[in-house]
Structures are given as structure tokens and as C-alpha cells.
Amino acid sequence: MEKKKTNIKFIIILTVLILGGGIYGVTKYMHSLAHEETDDAQIEKKMNPIIPRVSGYINNVYVKDNDFVKKGDTLFTIDKRDYQLKIDEATAALLGAESQYEAAKADIGSAYASVSVSDANMRSASGSIESAKIRLKQITSDYNRYNNLYKTHTITKQQYEKALAAKEEAESQVRVLEQQQRASSFQKSVIESKSKASDKQTQVAAANIKRAKTMLEVAKLNLTYTVVTAAIDGQVSKVDIQPGQLVQPGQSLFYIINNNEAWVVANFKETQLNKMIVGQKVSLKVDAYPNYEFKGIVSSFSPATGSRFSLLPPDNATGNFVKTIQRLPVKISLDPSNDPEKVKLLRPGMNVDVDVHLK
């Protein structure tokens, strides 16, 4: 029986395939020992939201979709007439508060002057009372002497009555002066009460001035907010606003993207993180520019997996549990040696293939 001829070509091809597969497998294995790779990565850039601080109707829009702007460029303006009226109102309130303060100061000055006059009157009344009491003491002594002489019929009745009248007159004068002193004291207490009230009115008026000045500053500040400017250099996103549109504070209208600074966020499986540390070098391939290899450095690791930051994070304590490998966001900074012009071409959201050099 004749033996079949051995197919030399088949053996050669099979041998080449086995050797090629083995070499490829060994190469990939050796590469995996010193590299960690993922294609779940995107370009990130700072996206500055344009948010008005005051409400109003838009007057003019000075930018279009995808325009490049510089810091301080006017993006759009809001009708300022309402805010100008607020300034006028605050200015009038400030003038009124200042007038009240001046009037209160005048009242308190008059009150202090009245208190000084009352003090002078009381001191004068005290001196007059002392003089009247001394005179009363002397006249009373004369009256007692005349009274004794009258009892012994040494003097006439007319002389006795004259001494008695002088004594009663002196007593009456002392009583009148004491009543005047009490009236002056009461008047002084009333004036002091008015003075304290005027002092409080002055403090209130001063507080009203401060409040009016604050309201005026707020009104002026709000007026400046009617001109919305760019906070950074960059490129404008889609501008979906138009004149006559009503905008509200806190309403995000569009974005300015900073094209001068970019980084990559790569979502590695938790099983890939064992040998990854901050500072390792990274090779980056952007799908949009496959002929240029960007260089990067591992900058930081997220404090939690991406699922924990989702709107509805999973709760493994409910329902049936199925173990799923989680991914952790890793921030990769671009190396300064990269071509700046190439970095400017990168756009947020572009897909990137990441290769981290573990050694």
C-alpha cells in the first residue's frame, strides 16, 4: 500500500502560525507585566458656564457659536433701565437718611444747651435760697427780740407788727425760692429725657444712613452685572440666546471652553490598580489624531468609583447581588513636552487609548 505524501507547505505554515502566536502571546504577556491599558478614557477641559447674576431681558448678544473670546470680552448685555431706577431710589433714600441725621443732631444740640441752662438756673436758685435762709435767720432773731420787748411793753405794737411782717415775708421768700428750685429740677429731668431720646434718634438716623449706603452700593453692583463678560480666554460653545429673551440668576446659558489646558480621565478596572501609582508615565493615543502620541503623567486617583457619583448609585444590599468589576477614574495630566498646537486641537469628550508604564 502506497504511503500519503507529507504536505511540506502545510507543516511550514502551521509551524509559522504556532511560532507567531507564541511570540505574540509572550510579547503581550511581557507587555502586560509593565503596562496597564484601557480605551475607556476621554479628554477633559475646563468648561466655564456663563450664568447671569441678575434677571432681565437681553439687549444685545455679541458672540456666535464657536467664537474665540478673550478674558473681559462682552458676551451679552441685559436691559439696565430697572437697575438704574434702583440706583436713583437708593440715592434718594440716602439723602433722606442724611437729612434725618442732621435734624437729630440739631435736636440733641439744643437739648444739651437746655440742660446747661437748667444747671445754671439750679445753681443760681441754690445760691438765692442760701441767701434767703441767712436773711430769714437774722430776721427771725430780730423778731424774737422784738417779741420779748413787746411782752414787757418796752416797744410799741407797730414796731412788733413790723418785725412780724418782715419775718413772714422772709419765710415766704424762702418757700418761693425752694419751689422754683424744685421746678428747675423737674425741668432738667424732662430736658435730659428729651436729650436721651434725641441721642437714640441720632443713632437710628446713623444706622439708616449706613443701610442706605449699602443699598446704593448693591444697586450699583447689580447695574454692573447687566454686562456679562468672559471670565477666561477660550472658545464659546453653542450660544442659544437672543435679544428679548428673559434670563434668570443662576440660569446656565452656554459655556466657554479653555483650550490651553487639557487632561485625560481614564476609567480603569479596579483589578488594574494594584501597581499603579502617582507619577507614572503614560502614552496616549487620541482617536481623532492617531498619528501623534501624546505623553502624560498619572496625576491622581478618584476617591470613589464612578458608580458612586452616579445619579442613582447601586445599593448591593437590596435585591439579588451580581458582582460587577467597578471602574475608578484616574486623572492623567498632559506632559509639558507635548506640542501646544496639538493640545489646542483636543476637545472635551474625545476618546483616548491609555497605556500606563508601570516600570
Q: What is the pLDDT of residue 329?
A: 95
Calpha distance 32→29 (Å, rounded): 5
Contact between residue 295 and residue 354 where contact means Cβ atoms under 8 Å apart: no
Phi, psi angle pair for 168, to nearest 5°: -65, -40
DSSP assignment of 271-325 equals GG-TT--TT-EEEEEETTEEEEEEEEEEEEE-SS-GGGGSSS---TTSS------
pTM beyond cutoff 0.75 = no
Calpha distance 88→220 (Å, rounded): 10
Beta bridge partners of 162: none
Long-range contacts of 78-84, Cβ-Cβ distance < 8 Å, separation of 24 or more: 78/52, 78/54, 78/225, 78/226, 78/227, 78/228, 78/247, 79/226, 80/56, 80/223, 80/226, 82/56, 83/54, 83/56, 83/219, 83/222, 83/223, 83/226, 84/223
Mean pLDDT by 10 residues, the chain (359 residues): 61 81 73 81 94 94 93 94 92 86 68 58 66 73 71 72 73 72 65 62 81 92 94 92 93 91 93 91 93 94 88 76 88 92 91 92
Which domains can be identified in the chain, with CATH numbers?
Answer: 82-224 (1.10.287.620)
